[in-house]
Amino acid sequence: MKLFGVRFHPAGLYPLLRSSLSELTDKVENIEAVLGIRGKELEEKIFESGSDAERIAVFENMMNKIFEGPQIRGLTSVGLDMIIKNQGQIKVEDVARSLETNTKTLERHFNREIGINPKMFCRVERLQNVLQSIKKVPGMRWTEIAYSFGYVDQAHFIRDFRGFAGVSPSAFVKQQNTISDSFVG
């Protein structure tokens, strides 16, 4: 069984679909259902390819055709950059103010182009940075992590982490170590 997957950057899929991504949030869809006949053609060409390099080339070729011409950076794209630059530790109101818009307009753009609102994206981005920090500095105390990433306290951090991961940070680290041990030596 061969598997080929593509991970788009936030807002990277919207120019391709030109429809609201909030309709796809938390769903698994067939490529043909999402891209129509273009999706079916892409799927067939990828499956006919003999190597990973060929599959990647087929995909890149299709994307280059679709994304020809200058790309316009809108509210969402600039807002994403601000949130990522601040590791998710920025208020949505501050992002909106910097973009000279209001929070409702920013929320509409994010929901349509990313599938989630800017506040949720801030939470996701902050947690992604927490996970990177945990990997880089194993054994770092949860209180230190909580304060480093702008959480009010350790309890707030753990609650937020559990909301995304389904387990506490300690249980998550233990699971990661168990998985690593399974593949090493």
pLDDT class of 30 with cuts at 50, 70, 90: confident
pLDDT class of 129 with cuts at 50, 70, 90: very high
Cα separation, 3 vs 11, whole angstroms: 24
Residues in the chain: 185
The CA distances from residue 30 to 50, 93, 105, 171, in Å, are: 22, 36, 31, 34
Two tokens at 96? 């909106």
Q: What are residue 91's phi and psi, to 5 degrees?
A: -80, 140
0.75 surpassed by pTM = no
In one-letter notation, the amino acid at residue 138 is P
High-pLDDT (> 90) share of the chain, %: 50
Cα separation, 179 vs 185, whole angstroms: 12
The rounded mean pLDDT for the chain is: 86
Domains present along the chain, CATH in parentheses: 14-66 (no CATH), 75-173 (1.10.10.60)
Average pLDDT over residues 41-63: 88
Torsion of CA 52, 55, 59, 62, to 10 degrees: 150
Whether the CB-CB separation of 62 and 42 falls below 8 Å is answered with yes
92/7: higher pLDDT: 92
- Confidence check: pLDDT of 9 > 80: no
Lowest mean pLDDT among 71-80, 103-112, 159-168: 71-80
Whether the CB-CB separation of 76 and 11 falls below 8 Å is answered with yes
Average pLDDT over residues 92-121: 95
| 118 closest CA partner among 97, 134, 147 | 97
pLDDT class of 177 with cuts at 50, 70, 90: low
Cα separation, 91 vs 130, whole angstroms: 18
